[in-house]
Chain A
Amino acid sequence: MTSFLQYTIFGIILGAGFAIAATGLVVTYTTAGVFNFAHGAVGMIAAFSYWELVANHHVPAVLALVIILLVGAPIAGALVERVLMRRLHGATAERPIMVTLGLLVILTGVATIVWSPKSQYQLNPIVSGSFRLVSINLQYQQVLTIGIAIALVIGLRFLFSSTRTGVGLRAVVDDPALLAMSGASPDAMSQYGWILGFVMAALAGVMLALTQEQTGISIVAMTLLVVNGYAAAIVGRLKNIPVTFIAAIVIGLLEDYIIYYLLPHLSQGLNSDITLALPMAFLFIALVMLPSVRLRAVGRLSTVRVPRMPSGKESVLGGAAFFVLAVIASVVLSSVVVRGTNLLNLGGEIMAFGIVGLSLVLLTGYSGQVSLCQFSFMGIGAFLMGKVAGGGSLFGLVAAALVCAVLGALVALPTLRLRALYFALATFAFADAVDQGFFQDSRVFGGGINVGRIILPGLSFGGNRSEFLLLSVFFVLVALLVLTIRRSLFGRRLVAMSDSPAAYATLGLNLAVTKVAVFAIAAALAGIAGGLYATVNGTVGSADFDFFSGIIFVLFVTVWSIRTVSGAFLAAVTYVMLTTFWSTGLGLVAGAGIILIGRAASGILGIDRLSTLLPLPWVKRAPVAGDSGTLAGIGTAPMEGETRVAG
């Protein structure tokens, strides 16, 4: 009985930490209309800054907290709002997702450079000492966490319902133009919102870091620790703070009970993986339990200027030209070795990642569904390629495609009725769960599995050149397939579904079937890409399909152009080159790219004016009427190539 009481109290303490993180997410969503994927990363930076001040520079804990919460976080929040977020109001659903993911990878990239992941970062509690409560030893630090969580819930509830500023912060998401007509500054309101969100994220980061007394803090763990809050925030539908708080406590309790009661009965190896995958599992369950989104026929409509579709003949000619170039490259590069890496092998990797890029063109570019789990399918494909029929077999490739298609359908089925943001979150949860629970398991990839080169009947691909050319052929074939799909009736359905799900449904077409189908096809393509990737170097390991790399890759495709084959290819080139020659800069370049193309909805390849590349706040375009693009659009300049209709 005492142990049950003990687990319950510890569960509540854990939940209180999650509650601080979750309410912060709700605050940002309420005041900015954006789900901040970088919330955890902001918390992580705050936690490391706290360590830097307290442990490294011996600043008193309270002063360090004041510096972080009242100076650092507000300045960072205001800056992020001004440079990144202000231009996002009214943009398509995927843009805020990409921008906050960009911020996430930048912050983790910066942290990796500043705080070497190899060192230990230990923190002492702000308040030391403990007391006994019914035979349970409780630390004052733990009580402080619970106290802060409760104070936040009460304080925020009061702010948002009983003060004019709080109501104004909510109003700016509803209608910034009307808020201006009422005499308040929508820009200032948005800025307050982001400042508040950053302060909350920083607070969550420091409080959660202080619970990591034994293990010390690490960049990835701190960034993902906040994910525990995601599920609670989703249960509160990103707007109800008291419900979010209760959900966070329940999740804390569940996690504690599972760890202490369920896990001891499972095998040793499974334990740690399940503990790591739990937050994402809760998030996935919370998302699946959300009610279906209502199809809305009226509302703000965002359309992006789509690049011209090449005709069938043009596609075939383009594919042939690409292959000829690949042949030339295979001759020129055959013996070039840069820093110990054979460039032809890199070429092979580029083709494989290019195919993953093409799966994103189909899924996100054409049908508007943001998937953050293409690398999971890629990894599963690579795993099957290594295990089926002794490795390197064509059967392995077929198995990769089939298994990934089925898995893709299984992920899409429960989540397809959700709106774009929740769907993206579900793929985020799936990607991390697969990475933590499967790829990281020593029995899956271990130190790396031997796949060997691909074996086709009567053909040998032992040489680097033949392998590279084979992968080029695969890339060209998949590119032609994706373009053919786009030109077909099914492709037109994808675009129609992305433009207006409501109109699509009222035409009598089945949204569910189309969504599942396209997700399964994209998953199968990623699976094939994984299988092919595994054959390039002959061995493959879990680090190749790491969760963060998957996000970074999606960002690269978005930066180049998620609607074109060239965009997929150039993203693969950028990704492979950086991973090989400057892996520290991977996240930084991807994040910076996303910020640089802040105004260009169609990516670098969709830019037709250089001025759109200038996101600097002091670079203003000529003050022309209609600059706002819509009658209702105060401070809501449309993205390049984007037209908006006020509904």
Chain B
Amino acid sequence: MTVPEMSPATVPPALAIRGVRASYGRIEVLHGVDLTVPAGSVFALLGPNGAGKSTLLSVISGQMRPTAGEVVIGDKPVGKLSTQKLARTGLCSIPEGRGIFPNLTVRENLRIWTYRGGLSVKAVEEQTYGTFPRLAGRRGQLAGTLSGGEQQMLAISRALVTDPKVLLLDELSMGLAPLIVAELYELVGTLAAQGKTVLLVEQFVTTALLVATGAAIMVHGKIRQQGTPSDMATAAHGVYLSS
């Protein structure tokens, strides 16, 4: 898998987060996050449990409103857009756990992906089954009864077929066998090669940094460090041990 090398300084950002603060009730969990993700890059957001990574993704995808700061996708501030509008304007967010509807069949899940607009069920099915032949044999099965790997394939098929500009992936590797993880990350690489910007959140550093072109470490609701994947690999050890 090849990922085009890009210099963060010259490429315009696909996603910019400026001074974002967010809280659950009275408890603030993001204390002013600044992050710039260059277009076409695979950016890994690392950090220990409870650092606020998933909360940041919720803010970006419009599920939570920040108390301060702004989120800019492309050149448009998107703070006021609802989750579904963001999805229709090219943001694909695959949440932690499995981003599927467990009580719908595989085919019915794929039918939901067509809400993104301009897609036919047939095309969605063809593309998904072409990439993941295993799902073709399970098209009539309830998604909740698939194996963990198959569920994640179904979830990521949404990113595959809806052609998003920005893709948010939360803990893609969680609870999966290494072989499946490798297969999924290969797909992430392919998506990036097609020019999509990927922001992935991972607790497990090595898997994420294998495909990443840039990375940042988040601790206690703030970005602690940002740099190249190799720099972050070294820095991450210190952070994980100290926090």
Which chain A residues have a beta carbon within 8 Å of chain B's beta carbons? 161, 164, 167-168, 170-171, 173-175, 177-186, 623-629, 631-634
Contact = CB atoms under 8 A, between A and B. Distances in A.
Contact of B84 (A183, A626, A629): A183
Nearest to A623: B65
A164 B114 contact: yes
B127 interface: no
Interface string B152-168: 00000010001000000
Contacts of A170: 101, 103-104, 108
A177 B83 contact: yes
B23 A626 contact: yes
12 contacts: A168-B112, A170-B101, A171-B104, A179-B112, A181-B94, A182-B113, A185-B82, A185-B84, A625-B22, A628-B63, A629-B24, A631-B63
Contacts of A174: 101-104
B102 A180 contact: no
B36 interface: no
A182 B59 contact: no
B137 interface: no
Interface string B85-120: 001100011111001111110001001111111000
B228 interface: no
Contacts of A634: 63, 83
Given A178-B95, A634-B63, A626 B22 contact: yes
A183 B87 contact: yes
A634 to B, nearest CB: 6
Interface string B46-82: 0000000011001101111111000000000000001
Contacts of A628: 63-64
B175 interface: no
B112 A182 contact: yes
B178 interface: no
B238 interface: no
A286 B194 CA distance: 56
A77 to B, nearest CB: 21
A628 B61 CA distance: 14
Contact of A626 (B24, B82, B103, B158): B24
A183 B85 CA distance: 6
A167 B104 contact: yes
B95 A184 contact: no
Q: What's the dominant secondary structure at chain B's contact region?
A: mixed
B25 A181 contact: no
A173 B104 CA distance: 11
Contacts of B58: 631
Contacts of B67: 624-625
Given A183-B84, A631-B54, A634-B83, A625 B112 contact: no
B101 A175 contact: yes
Contacts of A623: 65
B115 A183 contact: yes
| Chain B CB within 10 A, most for which of A161, A164, A167, A170 | A167
A181 B23 contact: no
B34 to A, nearest CB: 17
Contacts of A184: 84, 112, 115
Contact of A627 (B30, B65, B104): B65
Contacts of B64: 625-628, 631
A634 B158 CA distance: 19
Contacts of B66: 625
Nearest to B30: A625
Given A626-B24, A628-B63, A178 B99 contact: yes
A178 B61 CA distance: 11
A182 B23 contact: no
A182 B154 CA distance: 13
A260 to B, nearest CB: 42
A183 B117 contact: yes
A180 B23 contact: no
| Chain A CB within 10 A, most for which of B64, B66, B113 | B64
A185 B81 CA distance: 12
A625 B158 CA distance: 26
Contacts of B102: 174
Please name the 4 residue pairs, one residue from A and one from B, whose CB atoms are nearest each other, closest first.
Answer: A626-B24, A625-B22, A180-B83, A183-B87
Given A164-B111, A174-B103, A631-B55, A181 B83 contact: yes
A181 B112 CA distance: 10
A171 B111 CA distance: 11
A351 to B, nearest CB: 41
B235 to A, nearest CB: 27
A625 B33 CA distance: 14
A170 B112 CA distance: 10
A134 to B, nearest CB: 42
A175 to B, nearest CB: 6
Contact of A167 (B27, B30, B111): B111
Contacts of A632: 95
Contacts of B96: 631
Interface in B116-165: 116-117, 121, 158, 162
A192 to B, nearest CB: 14
A182 B95 contact: no
B184 to A, nearest CB: 18
A628 B82 CA distance: 13
A337 B189 CA distance: 84
Nearest to B59: A625
A181 B61 contact: yes
A180 B85 CA distance: 8
A633 B64 CA distance: 9
A181 B87 contact: yes
Given A164-B121, A167-B111, A181-B63, 15 more contacts: A171-B108, A174-B101, A177-B95, A180-B63, A180-B84, A181-B87, A181-B99, A184-B112, A185-B84, A186-B84, A623-B65, A625-B21, A626-B24, A631-B95, A632-B95
Contact of A180 (B27, B87, B103): B87
| Chain A CB within 10 A, most for which of B25, B55, B94 | B25
A627 B62 CA distance: 12
A626 B21 CA distance: 11
A23 to B, nearest CB: 19
A367 to B, nearest CB: 29
B65 A625 contact: yes
B25 A626 contact: yes
A173 B108 CA distance: 14
Nearest to B62: A180
Nearest to B108: A167
Interface in B157-205: 158, 162
Contacts of B114: 164
A601 B131 CA distance: 47
